[in-house]
Amino acid sequence: MKCPVCQDVMVVLELAEVEIDHCLTCGGIWLDSGELELLLDSETDRTAVLQSFRPAGPLTEKARQCPICLKGMEKVFCAGIRGPVRLDRCPAQHGIWFDPEELQDVLAAGSAGLNSRVLDLLKDMFGNNQPKEERP
């Protein structure tokens, strides 16, 4: 599968028994439909994150192509630990593209802070680029 950002071939990695596609060049991650839900720790987390998705509205940047159907992806906002995260989502529901650190940001928002087994695995795989939890 080719990266929607740089067109390089992505590698398949296993994260918490979920196969993710990772671009070694730009650092982005592609999750097929349903994989984000599998990475969240509880049903409450899954519901909260999925209900936070909303259209990002018209943007001036060129739409990235879904690596599966090659159609332009839509920009959506999703809850993140530091505020809304703008993601690329396939309109045919094939999956979601996460630029570097966006997946960690979304998972941290959906996992009651930064204490999550998946976030620990991401840290082991990609280094210490974890989002800092906001302090009041």
DSSP assignment of 41-52 equals: SSHHHHHHHHHT
In a domain, 67, yes or no: yes
In a domain, 130, yes or no: no
In a domain, 92, yes or no: yes
In a domain, 25, yes or no: yes
pLDDT exceeds cutoff 70 at 35: yes
Q: How many domains does the chain have?
A: 1
In a domain, 40, yes or no: yes
In a domain, 113, yes or no: yes
At which residue do the structure tokens 């920009």 appear? 75
pLDDT exceeds cutoff 80 at 136: no
Q: Which range marks the domain in which residue 32 is found?
A: 11-124
Residue 96 in tokens: 């979601």
In a domain, 132, yes or no: no
Which pLDDT does position 128 carry in this prediction?
A: 55
Predicted confidence band of residue 132 (pLDDT cuts 50, 70, 90): very low
Return the closest-CA partner of residue 59 out of 43, 78, 72.
72
In a domain, 65, yes or no: yes
Kindly report, residue by residue over 118-127, the tens digit of the pLDDT.
Answer: 777 777 777 6
| Percent of the chain with pLDDT strictly greater than 90 | 51
